[in-house]
């Protein structure tokens, strides 16, 4: 996608793409400039998009994948073959412009959780995006003794982005200097696949039910006095995890009423 300079100046809330990385034929990530006035809490989402053929902005909700201290913004995206936005967004190149409405919102934020000792970040597919922000935020390490991020995908290749982010956090010089190596070691990664062979197979929901995730990680079962959760995936996934967390005695929280876990949909709809 190449914009003419005439188009560039008329785009409302325009930001410039600085980097694009493709992971699979269904997944990519990109970075763009950040409006100087944009303040957000790690884990929130904004509306982003492109100008539609009808001359009106075509916008969709996107979790900000970069932490709140980053000079740029990062997004992790699906490519829906016939999707109104992503059939075009997947072709963006550095230098292109996107539209970004600077009004961040969302429930996957520290403010919506009561203090706890262990933070579970449960994700499937692109639901990892808000957690890419949260696990790069020093506040997450300051608030919890242990952070466990689970990511379930169909195939091994779909785990690449989360694996890279976790590895980058663990070797990040600035975070290491700020927090200390011991603090960074608090972050634990539990990737699982469901349709391709990998070291850990199975839906995280099944691994919770069987207790396997707790024995694998050497942690006790979920306890409302200790554990806090953030959940981001398909509607079916969110409902299944919610039932498990509530079964363990955790209550769903919100910005207005913090509790033990929070949930956000990674997308609306049944499938691509």
Nearest CA among 164, 237, 247 for reference residue 205: 237
63 CB neighbour count, 10 Å cutoff: 27
15 binds, among ligand FAD, ligand NAP, none (CB under 5 to 8 A by kind): none
Report the partner that residue 153 touches, choosing among ligand NAP, ligand FAD, none (CB closer than 5 to 8 A by kind).
Answer: ligand NAP
According to CB under 6 A, which one of 57, 83, 102, 224 is a site residue for ligand FAD? 83
Least CB distance from residue 214 to ligand NAP, whole Å? Answer: 17
Contact between 194 and ligand NAP (CB under 6 A)? yes
Whole-angstrom distance, CA of residue 30 vs CA of residue 40: 18
- The single residue among 20, 38, 61, 219 that binds ligand FAD, judged by CB under 6 A, is 61
Q: Which stretch binds ligand FAD (CB under 6 A): 15-23, 83-91, 169-177, 181-189?
A: 83-91
- Across the beta sheet with 97-105, the strand order is 57-63, 45-51, 97-105, 14-22, 27-33, 72-78
Question: Cα separation of 65 and 128, whole Å?
Answer: 8
Element (H, E) at 120: strand 118-124
Runs of H (alpha helix) within the chain: 5-10, 86-89, 129-134, 138-143, 160-170, 173-179, 181-184, 204-210, 212-217, 235-247
Name which position in 32, 50, 85, 169 contacts ligand FAD (CB under 6 A): 85
Q: Identify which range of 15-23, 81-89, 223-231, 237-245 contacts ligand FAD by CB under 6 A.
A: 81-89
Q: Does 84 bind ligand FAD (CB under 6 A)?
A: yes
**Which two structure tokens, joined as six digits, stand for 66?**
């970069």
Q: Name residues contacting ligand FAD, limited to 195-254 (CB under 6 A).
A: none
Q: Catalog residues that contact ligand FAD under the rule CB under 6 A.
A: 45, 60-63, 76-78, 80, 83-87, 125-126, 129, 264-272
């Amino acid at each position: 996608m190449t914009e003419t300079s005439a188009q560039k100046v008329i785009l409302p809330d325009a930001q410039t793409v600085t980097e694009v990385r493709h992971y699979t034929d269904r997944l990519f990530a990109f970075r763009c400039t950040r409006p100087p006035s944009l303040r957000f809490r790690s884990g929130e989402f904004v509306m982003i998009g492109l100008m539609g053929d009808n001359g009106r902005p075509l916008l969709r909700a996107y979790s900000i994948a970069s932490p709140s201290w980053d000079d740029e913004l990062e997004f992790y995206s699906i490519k829906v073959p016939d999707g109104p936005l992503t059939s075009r967004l997947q072709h963006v190149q550095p230098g292109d412009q996107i539209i970004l409405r600077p009004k961040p919102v969302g429930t996957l934020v520290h403010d919506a959780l009561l203090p706890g000792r262990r933070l579970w970040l449960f994700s499937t597919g692109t639901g990892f995006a808000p957690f890419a922000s949260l696990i790069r935020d020093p506040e997450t390490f300051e608030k919890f003794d242990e952070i466990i991020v689970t990511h379930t995908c169909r195939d091994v290749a779909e785990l690449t982005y989360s694996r890279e982010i976790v590895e980058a956090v663990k070797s990040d010089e600035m975070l290491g200097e700020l927090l200390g190596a011991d603090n960074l070691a608090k972050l634990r990664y539990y990737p699982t696949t469901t349709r391709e062979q990998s070291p850990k197979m199975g839906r995280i929901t099944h691994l919770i039910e069987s207790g396997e995730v707790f024995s694998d990680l050497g942690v006790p079962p979920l306890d409302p006095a200790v554990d806090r959760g953030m959940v981001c995936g398909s509607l079916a996934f969110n409902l299944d995890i919610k039932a498990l967390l509530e079964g363990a005695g955790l209550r769903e929280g919100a910005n207005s009423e913090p509790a033990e876990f929070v949930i956000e949909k990674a997308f609306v709809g049944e499938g691509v």
